[in-house]
Amino acid sequence: MSYILKSSNIMPKFGIGTWRMGENENKSSVEINSVYYALKNGVRLIDTAEMYGEGGAEIIVGEALKKANVDRKELFIVSKVYPHNAGRDNLFTSLKKSLSRLGLDYLDMYLLHWRGRVPLRETVECMEEAKKEGLIKDWGVSNFDIDDMKELESIKNGDKCSVNQVLYHLASRGVDFDLASYLLERNIVLMAYCPLAQAGNLGNDILNNSVIKNIAKKHNATSSQIALAFIMYFDKRVPIPKSSSEKHILENINSQNIILDKEDIELLNKEFPKPNRKMPLDIV
Domain residue extents for the chain: 10-199+235-243
Q: Given this model, what pLDDT does residue 255 score?
A: 98
How high is the pLDDT of residue 221?
Answer: 98
Average pLDDT over residues 92-98: 99
pLDDT for res 73: 98
pLDDT score of 199: 55
In angstroms, rounded to a whole number, what is the distance separating the alpha carbons of residues 36 and 33? 5
Measured in residues, the chain has a length of: 284
Binding-site residue positions: 113
pLDDT of 256 higher than 70: yes
Residue pLDDT, tens place only, 36-80:
999 999 999 999 999 999 999 999 999 999 999 999 999 999 999
CA-based radius of gyration for the chain: 18
What is the pLDDT averaged over residues 90-105?
99
Half-sphere exposure of 147 (CA within 13 A, CB side): 5
Known catalytic membership, residue 233: no
Using the 8-state DSSP alphabet, how is residue 85 labeled? Answer: G
- Choice among 36, 37, 52, 110 that is catalytic: 52
The pairs formed by 271-275 with CB atoms below 8 angstroms and a separation of 24 or more are 271/170, 271/209, 271/211, 271/212, 272/170, 272/171, 272/173, 272/204, 272/206, 273/173, 274/173, 274/176, 274/177, 275/173, 275/174, 275/176, 275/177
Q: Please give the pLDDT value at position 204.
A: 56
At residue 112, the pLDDT reads: 99
Q: d(Cα 170, Cα 140) in Å, to the nearest integer?
A: 24
pLDDT, tens only, 259-282: 999 999 999 999 999 999 998 899
Distance CA 144, CA 78 (A): 17
> Which CA distances in Å does 33 have to 64, 96, 104, 249?
7, 25, 19, 11
Instruction: Extract the annotated binding site for substrate.
Output: 113
Q: pLDDT tens-digit profile of 139-193? A: 999 999 999 999 999 999 999 999 999 999 999 999 999 999 999 999 999 999 9
Q: Which residues pair with 47 in a beta bridge?
A: 78
Residue range 250-257: average pLDDT?
A: 98
Tens of pLDDT, residues 185-244: 999 999 999 999 875 444 458 999 999 999 999 999 999 999 999 999 999 999 999 999
Given this model, what pLDDT does residue 202 score?
Answer: 47
Residue 35 has pLDDT above 70, yes or no: yes
Collapsed DSSP state (helix, strand, coil) of residue 70: coil
Please give the pLDDT value at position 200.
47
In three-state secondary structure terms, 169 is strand
* CB-CB neighbours of 208 under 10 Å: 9
**What pLDDT, on a 0 to 100 scale, did the predictor assign at position 78?**
99
Q: Distance between CA 128 and CA 139 in Å, rounded?
A: 8
Looking at CATH, the fold of the domain delimited by 10-199+235-243 is given as TIM Barrel (3.20.20)
